[in-house]
Structure formats: structure tokens, C-alpha cells
Amino acid sequence: MSYPGYGPPSAPALEARGLSKTFGSIQAVRELSFSVQRGSVTGFLGPNGSGKSTTLRMMLGLVRPTTGDAVVNGVPYTSLAHPSRVVGAVLDAQSVHPKRTARHHLRLFTPVLGLPDQRADEVLALVGLTEAADRPAGQFSLGMRQRLALATALLGDPEILVLDEPANGLDPEGIAWLRDFLRSYARSGRTVLVSSHIIREVEQIVDHLVILSYGSLVYQGSIDQLRQMRPGHVLVAASDPPALAVALAARGVTDTRIGPDGRLVVTGSSEPDISSAAADAGVTVFGTTAEHIDLEQVFLSMTTSQYVSAPVGPNQPQGQWGGPPQQYGPPQQYGPPAQQYGPPPQQWGPPQQWGPPPNQQPPTQPGQWNGGQG
């Protein structure tokens, strides 16, 4: 596939290079470097307030970085000859006039993008909203508004999709639809960056992850690498668990312990290998249960939530029970930024501006775990 005018084809689809953003005393994003490989569906994850939206806005030229820069296909966004054909973005699925029909809403954009009006109907069909084309968006459910926002991003048939919390408000059927849609989009060689604060929401959708905590990168790499970093266990009901542990150790599997129910908990081995070791040692295996790693737990252990509520209880002065009293509760930067109020006219569809890229920093290596700093 060639990308005439879009920079070298070997370049990542999207790249953040030492991005930082400070709002007054709030450091929303800190020295953030990561890349999104072409053809991937990459999850951009972090708790509320960890800096995801700010980063996406910086990548799309809607917020000027304090330091660092971001590139699309190796070049600044402003250098793209046809930006709407390169990047389609949904940064706020709610920014639709409630009285406008879905078709009318989309037809506001088609002339701006130099597209025929019928493109509006094509993208409505792509997201399954044909039946709702003439209904006012104000009557739409949250999930339907998400689909309409996605339709808007698809207008220019872009090679890169950037979606901020697209699964928000979707029911399980909607999430399954989104998963199939985005995965087939990526199979055609295109690229998807999708943010979420809930790893379970995107676990089945993404193949790569970039995880933020307090504006800093804590992980980037494949979802499989992340699973392997915290392998699951196999619980083994055996006639002689200690003997089985010795047999496994002889095969190099040393991470074993007897669980509270007497079963042997084995980490780093497969059920067939355990059965084979047991057979060689003359130990009878009554049953095995594989316990797969819960990515939600891994995600929570890597990240620190910025918005935590104080414990609630009748007539309890703060600090006498529950969590730690002083530092508990929202940090100083809590509260919606002023910029989020009022109409967000240009937050989705093709970005309109791009800040200058002053600094460059090498990207963090794939699969890197930054130890939860930040």
C-alpha cells in the first residue's frame, strides 16, 4: 500500500513524541511518547482524568502541546494534503444538534469535505442507522449517537480512525458490533486508536494497548504481551500435590503453591504439561481448572484513579473509617475544565488546527512497563 504525500509508509500511523500539556497548575499529560502501528486496533486506556482526551486533542491539532509533538504517517497533521481522508475522529459523540436529523447532520459535512451528499447515506448504512436517517438526533439513544458520531468520522473514508470512548453507552450487542466493525476496518490495512477507561470494554476489540496513569505512559505493547506479563494459573486437584510440585520443578516449573482448598496452584505451565508431569511422577490428577488473568486487575494495578470518592456513612467524620483520610478524595485538579462547557463546534470531524511541533523525543519501546510511575 502506498501513501502518496502522507509520509513514509514505514512510519507509524500515529506517533506522540514527548507530549506534555499543562493547564495552569494541572499537568494533564507528562512526557508522553507512544506509537500506533499501521493496521492495528490500539486501545488508549487510562482512568478518568488520566489525560486521554487531552492527548487525542493534541494529536489532532485541537490542543497545542506545552512540549513535544505528534505526527500522522510521519508528518504533522497540517502537512497532509487531504486530512479528512487520512484521519476520521470522534472526540465527542454528543455534539449533535438535537433537532437535526442524522442525514441532515452528515450533509453539513459532505460539502466541506468535497463529497457528494449520497456519502451521508453510505456511512449511515455502514453504522446501521439507515432506518433512523430522518429522525432528529435528539431522539437518539446514547448508543445511536455513538453510531452517528462514527458515521461522521467515516465520511472521508479515512485510513486512520481516532475514537474517544466509542463504546460508552453501547449495550453488549452494540459493543459486539463495534468490535466486528473496527476489526474488519483494521483488516483492510487501516488503523484504529480507541480510548476507554474500562479495559473490559475494549479487551475484545484491540490488539495493542497504550495505558496512561496521571498523564504518563505506564504500558505500551500488545494485549498478548500484557497477558503474558501476568500469566494465569492452573488449579490442579491431585492425589499428591507436593509430589506433583517436585515433578514440575524438575521440569523448570517452580511457581507452585498449595491453595487453601488443597489444590496445587501452578503458574507458567499448561494443563497438558502438568498432566504429563503428573503421569511421570505417578500422581493422579482428578481435575484441572485454568484461571485466566483478569486484565481488569492488571489494569487497576498499573493505574491510579484520579477521581475517587470519599467513603459514605451515617454521621461519620471523615477519616475515622474507610480509606486514608488526608489524601482521599479528588485531587486539586478535580473538576471539569472550563473549556468543556458550552458548545463544542469543531470537536469532531476533521480537525481544524494544528500547533507547532517544537520537541522530539524517542518513543518508548513496545511492551514496556513503566512501573506505574506518575
Ligand X SMILES: Nc1ncnc2c1ncn2[C@@H]1O[C@H](COP(=O)(O)OP(=O)(O)OP(=O)(O)O)[C@@H](O)[C@H]1O
For ligand X, the binding residues (CB under 6 A) are 23, 26, 28, 46, 48-54, 197, 333, 337, 339
Which helix (H) or strand (E) is 126 found in, with range? Answer: helix 118-126
Across 194-231, b (16+ Cβ under 10 Å) vs e yields: bbbbebebbbebbbbbbbbbbbbbbbbbbbebbeeeee
CB of 261 to ligand X, least distance (A): 39
At its nearest, how many Å lie between ligand X and the CB of residue 44?
Answer: 9
- Beta pairing partners, 213: 216
CB of residue 342 to ligand X, shortest distance in Å: 12
Furthest C-alpha separation in the chain: 76
Nearer to ligand X, 212 or 253 (CB): 212
Please state the closest distance from residue 163 (CB atom) to ligand X, in A: 13
Strands (E), 176-314: 191-196, 208-213, 216-222, 233-238, 256-258, 264-267, 285-291
Q: Residue type for 276, please? A: S
* Nearest residue (CB) to ligand X, 52 versus 107: 52
- Say how far residue 203 (Cα) sits from the centre of its chain: 9
Task: Tabulate helix, strand, coil % of the chain (nearest 5).
Answer: 30, 25, 50
For residues 47 and 156, which CB has a smaller minimum distance to ligand X in the complex? 47
- Residue with Cβ nearer ligand X (202 or 244): 202
**Least CB distance from residue 286 to ligand X, whole Å?**
46
Output the smallest distance, CB 93 to ligand X, in A: 12
Closest residue to ligand X, judged by C-beta, is 337
Whichever of 242 and 337 has its CB closer to ligand X, that residue is 337
CB of 263 to ligand X, least distance (A): 39
190 vs 197 by CB, closer to ligand X: 197
Residue 210 or 266 with smaller CB distance to ligand X: 210
CA angle 348, 114, 104 (to 5 degrees): 60
Are 41 and 187 in contact by the 8 Å Cβ rule? The answer is no
Cα gap 189→197, rounded to integer Å:
26
CB 256 within 8 A of CB 265: yes
* Residue 271 burial (10 A CB sphere; 0-12, 13-18, 19+): middle
**Whole-number minimum distance, CB 189 to ligand X, in Å?**
28
Nearer to ligand X, 217 or 234 (CB): 217
Residues 6+ apart with CB under 8 A from 76: 69, 354, 357
Alpha carbon separation from 40 to 115, 186, 289 (Å, rounded): 27, 6, 32
**Nearer residue to ligand X within complex by CB, 35 or 53:** 53
Please, what is the minimum distance in Å from the beta carbon of residue 47 to ligand X? Answer: 7
> Which residues have C-beta within 8 Å of that of residue 249, sequence separation ≥ 6?
256
